[in-house]
Amino acid sequence: MLSCALVGLIGCCAVGMVTARDWPFTPLQSPARPAAFSHAEADTGIDGYVLAEQLKQGIDLAPEADRLTLIRRATFDLTGLLPTPEQCDEFLADSAPDAYEQLIDRLLNSPEFGARWAQHWLDVVRYAETDGFKLDRTRRDAFRYRDYVIRSFNSDLPYDEFLRQQIAGDELEPGNPEAQIATGFLRLSPEEINGSDYRQIRQEMLDDITDVVGQSFLGLTFGCARCHDHKFDPISQREYFQLQAFFAPLKQHETTLVPDGTEQDRQYEEQLEKWEAATEAVRRSMDAMVDPLRPVVFSELVPGFDEETQAALKQDPERRDPRAAQLAMLAGKQLQRSYVRMFRRLPDDKRAQYDELAKKLAEFDKVRPQPLPTAMTAADIGPRAPATHCLEGGDYQKPGEEVQPGYLAVLSKEEPRITPLAEHPHSTGRRAALARWLTQPTHPLTARVMVNRLWQHYFGRGIVGTPNNFGVMGDEAQNPSLLDFLAVELVSEGWRLKEVHREIVSSAVYRQTSISDQNRLHERAEDVDPENELLWHAPLRRRDAESLRDAALIAAEELNTQMFGPSVLPVLPVALHEDRYAWQPTPERQAHVRRSVYLFVKRNLQYPLFTAFDHPNRVATCAARPATIGAPQALLLLNGEFLRTTSRRMAGDLIVETKGLPTELVQQAYDRAFNRSPEPDELQAALTFLRTQSQRIAQAGSPHADSLPDPLPAGFQPAQAAALVDFCQALMNSAEFVYVD
């Protein structure tokens, strides 16, 4: 324990004269460091700031956790996975003084690091692969944005560049395919694709983008200022729409990822020419049958749209102003879908002819080239932007004063410098200006908000407990000097996030035991800080939905670590097969055991295991998932099809690996699930369970095939095999499996 004099000395360190509520808006600068002191566990700068706050209350850090706990904790935090028994054995046997540091380097350099931390970011930006609303149509290429985020975290792309690419990658790096894919961030809003008022749809998408940029990058809630000056934070309604003006020229865009003139592009063009020549007569005949229906469809559908959109669609495309072009593009998607279905209107005799022609056309599929890969991206509608107005009460039908792009006055007094882009003459350059401003090294919020997100995922709560709201209605910073220390570290390290990760997981604060009564000042700590806000012991955390599923697959030695590519449509429970939003699962069985980050994300139908364990709906940004505890979770783990199937496969693999020897079965099962051997009493209890459970099953008759290992090795008694399945499932229902120490 440190001396009282030293406690007093440290307590004199001040953040400055800035009030707690003004602090987030002040330029980023190095905080005053705590006074020097000697503490065996204070190995990094982080520990000094944490200890300074603890010692003000007369409490202290808990001892360091044991090595098995550390490898399980660090592997979970950095990769989202369970360590394998082999990885644990290697680390526990490593007597090198820097064994822990080497472990952290291996985890940071693992390809699974990006998959884990991408999952956190995808929550914040409300990533999904469907439009939402009633139709909830699939966005075929949305997965490329997810893969971009994974690659970015794995390559340690500087955070300032990561941010700029998502907001203005097309403007700042027009020749970089990754930067193009990054703009998929601007396409993640829910979209009502079969609406009728496209003025409203356009405005709702702009509002959503503005709000999400504010929350994700600035940690501020803008939504209140859409209708009136913000009631709590220094954000006026005018400033809200000035920020929105940066995004006012946006259009949806699909970018071909194969550059013109490359060998793949030339081969595609050559093959396409052959197909077009071979099918010209058939296609001309088909078009001749349906083209007369085009004006009929137009006249039926378009009058249902708002008047401004109707006028835009009827106007010569070359004469449309930027706003009309946006409305025509949004509504045109619905119109195009109706055109594609025109053949259904043909009389029976002509429909039969059309179907015959379609069959002939299909005969040429073997010579038709596969489409070139495309990405869901964003761009500007052109070099001119549509006008942005303050909207009275946030109502798109009540435009008021016209405004130009501008920053929040509380964050910056400078005017945006929007200049023409020589490399991108068809864009306004507005988003490029915003992206540059957001990534200035001294920007008050950008670095603070991001390092707070990192801290949150290691300790269960951010230094600012409301990661999307640093404003007045958010939580006050528990330790603003610590947050500024981390933010300055991020910027000084070239915005490299892995350096901040390394700083955090190397700290004594992170390496503490979670068993609070080992704290040297346990009783006082419980009294003055029962919620552990000062981090006097490591928090016990429940696995989130994705890591729980992935851990079960690892225990069964089934996890498919294939990276990237189109998402997997998992098998749905039978009860959901008749749901209107149900999907057909991906045919390949091996795809079903890929990491959870690669599972299809549908807004109107979540994977049931994820729903029970607090997966966000991805309609709005989610800065921090709740960690509820409820009966549906236990029922799903006990009766759900996924965990039952995984337990069957784990049991079948264990029988083969151990030749069915009971003691070895239990030992191997514990090693897979908990990375340790069972204690003597645990071993005895497990063996007793296997014996008595198999007797009960045998007395009840032959076990059902769904209760047996998959596969069931020849010669193994069915009742014993079914008991082993139950045992494996019980391990994966245990607190030691579901929670991370």
170 assigned to some structural domain: yes
Do 267 and 365 fall into the same domain? Answer: yes
Structural domain containing residue 648? 641-740
Within-domain flag for 12:
yes
| 582 within a domain of the structure (yes/no) | no
Task: Give Cα 703 distance to the centre of its chain.
Answer: 41
Residues 488 and 351 in one domain: no
The reported pLDDT for the residue numbered 42 is: 52
Q: Are residues 203 and 276 in the same domain?
A: no
710 inside domain: yes
Per-residue confidence at 425, pLDDT binned at 50, 70, 90? confident
Last residue of a domain, one of 504, 522, 542: 542
> Are 230 and 187 part of one and the same domain?
yes
Lowest mean pLDDT segment, chosen from 398-402, 419-423, 604-608, 704-708: 419-423
Where among 416, 438, 460 does a domain terminate?
438
201 within 8 A of 191, measured Cβ to Cβ: yes
Picking from 339, 372, 405, the residue at the C-terminal end of a domain is: 372
Predicted confidence (pLDDT) at residue 54 exceeds the cutoff of 50: yes
Q: Which residues contact 462 (CB under 8 A, 6 or more apart)?
A: 452, 453, 455, 456, 624
* Co-location of 304 and 243 in the same domain: no
Residue 290 and residue 308 in one domain: yes
pLDDT at 311 over 60: yes
Task: Using alpha carbons, select from 317, 309, 334 the residue that is nearest to residue 381.
Answer: 317
The number of folded domains in the chain is 4
Contact status, residue 243 vs residue 406, Cβ threshold 8 Å: yes
Look at the alpha carbons of 254, 257, 260, 263 in this order and tell me if their dihedral is positive or negative.
negative
Q: Are residues 195 and 293 in the same domain?
A: no
- Regarding whether 481 and 430 lie in a shared domain, the answer is no
Domain for residue 393, yes or no? Answer: yes
DSSP string spanning 275-292? HHHHHHHHHHHHHHHHGG
Shared domain for 666 and 733, answered yes or no, is yes
Burial of 588 (0-12, 13-18, 19+ CB in 10 A): exposed
Query: Does residue 242 form part of some domain?
Result: yes
Q: Quick one: pLDDT band at residue 465, thresholds 50, 70, 90?
A: very high
Count CB atoms within 10 A of the CB of residue 75: 25
Are residues 450 and 524 both part of a single domain? yes
Query: Looking at the whole model, is its pTM more than 0.95?
Result: no
Query: Does one domain contain both 360 and 269?
Result: yes
Instruction: Say whether pLDDT at 39 is over 70.
Output: no
Residue 195 within a domain: yes
Q: What is the pLDDT of residue 4?
A: 32
Domain membership flag for residue 665? yes
pLDDT range class, residue 44, cuts 50, 70, 90:
low
Q: Which of 554, 681, 541 is nearest to 625 (CA)?
A: 541
Mean pLDDT for the stretch of residues 581-597: 95
Looking at the structure, tell me whether residues 646 and 715 fall in a common domain: yes
Instruction: Give how far the C-alpha of residue 631 lies from the chain's centroid of Cα atoms, to the nearest Å.
Output: 26
How many CB atoms lie under 10 A from the CB of residue 591?
Answer: 19
Residues 31, 45: contact at Cβ < 8 Å?
no
